[in-house]
Amino acid sequence: MNGRALRIGIKRGWAEHLQLLRNRRELITTLIGTAGLFALLLLWIGDEQVKGTTVSSGMFMTTGFLAFTVFSNALMTLPMALAADREEGTLLRLRTVPGGIPAYLVGRAVTLLCQIAVQSALILATGVAVGGAPLPHDWPALLWVLLLGTVAVVPLGAAIGCLLPGPKTAGAVLGLPMMGLMVTSGVMLPVTYMPEAVQWIAQAFPLYWQGLGLRAAFLPDAMLAAEIGGSWRLPYVAAALAAWAVIGMLLAPVLVRRVTRRESGSRLAERQLTAQAS
Amino acid sequence: MSAAVSVRGLRMTYGTAEVLRGVDLEIRRGEIFTLLGPNGAGKTTTIEILEGFRNRSAGEVSVLGSDPEKGSDAWRARLGIVLQNWRDHNKWGVREIVAHLGEFYDDARDPDDLLAAVGLTGQAGQQVGRLSGGQRRRLDVALGIVGRPELLFLDEPTTGFDPEARQEFHLLLNRLASDDGMTVLLTTHDLVEAEKLAHRTAILAGGRITACGTPAELARAVQAPSRVRWLEDGREQAVTTDDPSRAAWELHERFGGPVPGLEIRRPSLEESYLELIGRAA
């Protein structure tokens, strides 16, 4: 990638981020969908305590929602955006332009990171204000877990986005597994509430590890009573997230290249016809 | 100067279906060239191969001196592309997207001049998604030429236009081509459009170029046989011939004077074209 593509890509990502912020409906959905719902949940059960610990569920849920924000933006919002860009011809448009595809990918990444940053800040602010969540006691852990957790899921999301036929299918295909992981991965309820088989499955996915890492950064050791093995297992967090990052980075370039190379006017027309028919 | 586009023996096969069976084309620099043919004749396939979006099965292709399959970014910067189905960048502002795509080129057109040229100055601040169909298509043309391309591809640019919008669009293309010496290749299934707009036209039917030339040359090349009718022995007689004048003269000789009910019917260019593509299919 050359410097020009990188520079235009960053500008492009920022422009699309501002478009999201200016879009009133999008803004209200984000505000109510993340901060609003979260605040209600905190008011409802935030004062309870996680069983067997002295940690309030408000504190617990703040870290869980933070992890889920990164996860859902990368694995739901990003694939849907990629699928929509293909269906509307955005990807093809950039393909007609010299250096357009690298700039497009940079732009998508920038928009995504901006969204994650805005929503994480909202969740954290709501958690502190309404849920009585503490500020993190381990800032370095917060930073590396957030960064590594993002790198673990963004390439994966890009890869998934390339495999989906269209944005409508994307919602249908991704919605249910996302909900399932949200419930089982220990971000809404402590993972030790789950049957052991479910615990094993949850530990195969990056959401559990990201949540665990964030709890390590925020919560007192009193929480360990409700964690698997009674430990923060930070080396495992690093290893699991890194493994997912590697898988994503191996898959994404191959799939992205395949999808962008195949993009052409007649394929665009076919897809739009199929989308209209369904 | 070498040709803008040169194609020899281009073949394209999808599975067992042969879409292009040896297409030869030569497009000169600075001309408006139309590729005319019925739907499904392989126009879009041809243009996508020239644009470098699709790999051919066989044949030689050179576009601005390069093989499109190996086209570099520098080569791509010399092309402009306008497709049929774009609905992209709907949330961007009109001027914003023109300026954004211009940044990819070294010598891009000024966004405001460009919007004035395509008649979208009044919509500069509007969202792309709120444009009418005709405005959207003019924006697509603006985005196609923002990088001052040497060669512009237009795939069925006026599909769905009303006659007035089509007329305006033709004027716009003529102006752009004559001002900048840009070569234009457009596909259409509309003979009238090809006749009006193009310096030269090639007819693609049944996977081959069946005729190619200026509108007048094309008319001669595709001219279907005329029908000569007359009355003889109280019955209507008719012959089909490529030389109706000779047939009429022979009739006059035979009758030794005026021929009763003589009628010569030359098919219109459109009827000739329809017969031609009917034969090729």
Each residue's pLDDT, cut to its tens digit, for chain B (281 residues) gives 579 999 999 999 988 888 999 999 999 998 999 999 888 788 889 999 999 988 899 999 999 999 999 888 899 999 999 987 788 999 999 999 999 999 999 999 999 999 998 889 999 999 999 998 888 988 998 999 999 999 999 988 877 777 887 888 888 888 878 877 899 999 988 888 888 888 999 999 888 998 898 887 887 777 778 889 999 888 999 998 888 889 999 999 999 989 999 999 887 777 777 777 776 65
When comparing pLDDT for A81 and A269, which is higher?
A81
Amino acid at B27: I
Q: Is the pLDDT of residue A54 over 70?
A: yes
Q: Which of A12, A19, A264 sits opposite B54 (nearest CB)?
A: A264
| Cβ–Cβ < 8 Å for A209, A241 | yes
Chain B closest-CA separation from residue A254 CA (Å): 18
When comparing pLDDT for A13 and B276, which is higher?
A13
Distance, first Cα to last Cα, chain B: 36
Contacts of B98 in chain A (CB under 8 A): none
**A93 and chain B in contact, CB less than 8 A:** yes
What is the pLDDT confidence band of residue A112, given thresholds at 50, 70 and 90? very high
**Mutation choice for B interface testing from A264, A268, A270 by most B CBs within 10 A:** A264
Q: Which of A98, A264, A268 sits opposite B104 (nearest CB)?
A: A98
The pLDDT of residue B1 is 57
The pLDDT of residue A240 is 95
Q: Is the pLDDT of residue A118 over 60?
A: yes
The pLDDT of residue B233 is 87
| Cβ–Cβ < 8 Å for A122, A273 | no
How many CB atoms are located within 10 Å of the residue B62 CB? 16
- Give me Rg for the CA atoms of chain A: 20
The pLDDT of residue A278 is 55
Query: Can you tell me the mean pLDDT for A176-193?
Result: 87
For residue B252, give the nearest of B232, B235, B267, B266 by alpha carbon: B232
Q: Which of A12, A266, A272 sits opposite B48 (nearest CB)?
A: A266
The pLDDT of residue B111 is 95
With b for 16 or more beta-carbon neighbours within 10 A and e for fewer, the A177-210 pattern comes to: ebeebbebbbbbbbbbebeeebbeebbebbbbbb
Mean per-residue pLDDT of chain A: 87
The pLDDT of residue A44 is 87
Judging by DSSP bridges, how do beta strands B183-188 and B32-36 pair with one another?
A: parallel
Are B100 and A90 an interchain contact pair (Cβ–Cβ within 8 Å)? no
